[in-house]
Amino acid sequence: MEFKKYQHIERLGTTEVENIEAGTCYVFPKIDGTNTSVWLNEAGEIQAGSRKRQLTLDNDNGGFYAWVKQQKSILDYLKAHPTHRLFGEWLIPHSIKTYKQDAWRKFYVFDVAIDKTEDEILHEGDSKIKYLAYDTYQPLLEKHHINYIKPLAVLTNPSYDQLVEWLMKNDFLIEDGKGIGEGIVIKNYEFVNKYNRQTWAKIIASEFKQKRTKLKGGPKSSVEEQIAKKYVTKALCEKVKAKIELENNGFTSRDIPRLLHSIYYDIIREESWNFIKEHKNPTINYKTLQNLINAQVKEQLPKLF
């Protein structure tokens, strides 16, 4: 088995997850660590990855690979289920610092997947992995005493208001009285989107609050300005900054150009389809958009500029 990238989780309300609420939905807390995965290679040796790459001891990700190589429970699980791939969050400090002290530097599994056969890839969409349902993998993880993220609720045909209610109740791993977590992830294991992909939806708490408090009215802004204001959130800026800090063991003024470029790149790569559909195939001046995104980053992180 080789490294496989975890899927992008789509914002609730976008076309990628249209109608995901129709059916049985598992509402999970979303935690703010670093995305990681674990699997066995053909020699039966434990391997690990970040969101984008395979890890080595010399090129680790917050010490995750060094940690996981010492975990007998995870190795035993994978030897019992050699076709499984564990995806989870390695909880190290990013933008949210209010997790309980004993929650840090632990691996919390949020998905278990198996690799598809070539025939399954041909007939079931372009994803190369298939995610197991929570009720399937939960007892297996429990048997091996592996940390995993439990659902906050299991809802049938939930309304948006019901999902928001659970968003505001999400205090998973958070210190008492320190607010709520990063957000929620909605999984409907029977859902396949219109593009024949199995995917999940998310609501990010800070983005929801920003949307609710946004002033209405006033002159209509340009498409580029609307995109920058909607997608350049404080949560995104802090998350990208935290990733750079982790890789560089700190953040200095020399990292600002990288921060600006990374945020612009992430928005274009991950949100283009959403804002093209939202604005009905608009004409976009990407130089103007980049300048407005940079300005919005400075507004979200004023202490850096």
Per-residue pLDDT of the chain (305 residues; tens, 9 = 90+): 889 999 999 999 888 998 899 989 999 999 999 999 999 999 999 999 999 999 999 999 999 999 999 999 999 999 999 999 999 999 998 888 999 999 999 999 999 999 876 666 555 555 678 999 999 999 999 999 999 999 999 999 998 989 999 999 999 999 999 999 999 999 999 998 888 889 999 999 887 766 665 544 444 578 888 899 999 999 899 999 999 999 888 999 899 999 999 999 999 998 999 999 888 889 898 988 998 999 899 999 998 88
* Contact call for residues 39 and 99 (beta carbons, < 8 A): no
b/e map 257-285, b = 16+ CB within 10 Å: eebbebbbebbbeebeebbeebeeeeebe
Q: Which amino acid is at 213?
A: T
pLDDT of residue 135: 97
Q: CA 263, CA 97: separation in Å to the nearest integer?
A: 21
* Contact call for residues 185 and 30 (beta carbons, < 8 A): yes
pLDDT of residue 211: 63
Pairing relationship of beta strands 183-187 and 34-40 according to DSSP bridges: unpaired
* Contact call for residues 133 and 4 (beta carbons, < 8 A): no
pTM of the predicted structure, to 2 decimals: 0.74
b/e map 286-304, b = 16+ CB within 10 Å: eeebbebbbbbbeebbeee
Domain borders along the chain are 10-205, 215-300
pLDDT of residue 119: 65
CATH 3.30.470.30 corresponds to the domain 10-205: yes
| E strands present in 41-142 | 46-49, 84-90, 107-115, 129-131
Q: CA 46, CA 59: separation in Å to the nearest integer?
A: 16
Question: Which residues, other chains included, contact 20 with Cβ-Cβ below 8 Å and sequence gap of 6+?
Answer: 12, 186, 188, 191, 193, 199, 200, 201
- CA distances (Å), origin 136, targets 44, 222, 246, 305: 23, 48, 34, 49
pLDDT of residue 217: 47
- Dihedral pair phi/psi, residue 91, rounded to 5°: -85, 95
Q: CA 164, CA 187: separation in Å to the nearest integer?
A: 15
Residue 115 structure tokens:
């690799």
Tracing tokens 């909880």 back to the chain, one arrives at: 91
